[in-house]
Amino acid sequence: MRAFRRQDGKLRDLGTLGGTSSQADAINERDQVVGWAATGAKNEDGSQVWHPFVWQNGKMVDLGTLAGQGRAVAINDRAQIVGWSETKSGAPHAVLWTRTR
């Protein structure tokens, strides 16, 4: 599974963060896209590690996490992104990313 967006009548693959999969969850009026992408690292159980991203200016940017995995689920036109991230214990916490440039 890969994240795509339609631009100028064509589908554009948004890429990954080094892994094999990604998913887009939201887009704003500034054409910034957010979601999650595999990093290429593996969890202890062998599954892919995934991080939240923002796609802007033609490239995917890793938003980082508190300690584990995470996901960006919405973005407004001020580029404020909300989502969640896991702590070292694996507990999910709500996150607001405000500086993505």
Query: 10 lies in which domain range?
Result: 3-97
Which pLDDT tens digit goes with each residue over 31-64?
A: 999 999 999 999 889 999 999 999 999 999 999 9
Is pLDDT at 101 greater than 60 in this prediction?
Answer: no
The percentage of the chain sitting over the pLDDT mark of 70, rounded to a whole number, equals: 98
Looking at residue 99, what is its pLDDT?
Answer: 75
Domain count, the chain: 1
Looking at residue 7, what is its pLDDT?
Answer: 84
Is 81 strand, coil or helix? Answer: strand
Torsion of CA 61, 3, 81, 39, to 10 degrees: -50
